[in-house]
Amino acid sequence: MNKLIAIARNTFVETLRQPVYAVIIAVALLLFLISPALSMYTMDDDNKLLREIGLSTLFLTSLFVAIFSASGAISVEMENKTILTVLTKPVQRPIFILAKFIGVMGAVALAHYLCAIGVLMTIRHGVLSTARDTHDWTVIGSASVVVVTTVLLSAFFNYAYDWKFTSTAVVVGAILATLAMVFLGLIDRDWQFNPAHNGINRLDVYAVVLLFLAAMVIASIAVAISARFNMIVTLSACIGVFLLGLISDWVFGRYAGMHLWAQAGRFLVPNLQIFWISDAIYENSVVPARYILVSASYAVAYTIGILAVAIALFQRRQIA
């Protein structure tokens, strides 16, 4: 257990220090910032498009963070031969794979959490569809305080303690963003204490949780593929699985009753469509908590199965 925790902690820290990790998060937050302006020119409901852009950006952010984190955690160590030092401790290979996955999921969870707060802030602000609409200055003010304070504190810690700026900014930003969300949960857009009308929809929170479950599935696939292949192959394969998983019902579901290949495809390829409930939110459909539990069970079961495959693949790989 000590070895598993040590490897997982090291993987988490090293992932946070990767420049691409902070770049992906920064790009996602920038897209959240400009999405209200991009959503105001539709002929239908501007806020529907805003939610679609926000949740889609969150989905893709978690996807790429999972892929790059998993690839960097395993395949890069193999290319640099640093994995030999770990496995000669000795560390059993199943422990190594599980620890790497836990470390990667810690980094994915932190990135997803920070970007999810950005999505919820963006949805609360909404789109200025008409001239009568006004800015939600509680959201703008909270976000501005978080960004400015994060930059100042990260710069200070970098200068005084030589902490890496990007990884420090992610952690500090997540802490301050949590405080900002608590503030927004209690204060309405008129700066009044009004928790009952705080503009935060429970279904949006459900959507964020489901997207994290989808990211967990993708992360397990990335770990399994990177146990045998390099980063390019892992990236290509995971994007392919991601796209195929979004249309699994259309590709496999309609033929499952007639063809064996469709049944196999429906069983093997994760159905990521079940984690996407933006349409249900827009149509004011009821999404019960039981649906979240069933989806979580599906994600956990699929993740365990993929990790078992990853361990089997890694057991037979020649490291030297």
Q: Give percent above pLDDT 90 in the chain.
A: 43
Transcribe 229-256 into DSSP letters. S-HHHHHHHHHHHHHHHHTHHHHTGGGT
> What is d(CA 3, CA 6) in angstroms, rounded to the nearest whole number?
5
The pLDDT confidence band at residue 148, using thresholds 50, 70 and 90, is very high
pLDDT score for 51: 86
Check: CB of residue 278 under 8 Å from CB of residue 51.
Answer: yes
- Domain layout of the chain by residue ranges: 2-315
Predicted structure pTM score: 0.91
Q: Check: CB of residue 119 under 8 Å from CB of residue 47.
A: no
Task: Give the Cα separation of 185 and 288 in Å (integer).
Answer: 22
Handedness of CA 252, 255, 259, 263 (dihedral sign): positive
Per-residue pLDDT of 37-51, as tens digits, reads: 877 766 666 778 888
Residue 175 has pLDDT above 90, yes or no: yes
CA 231/CA 296 separation, integer angstroms:
28
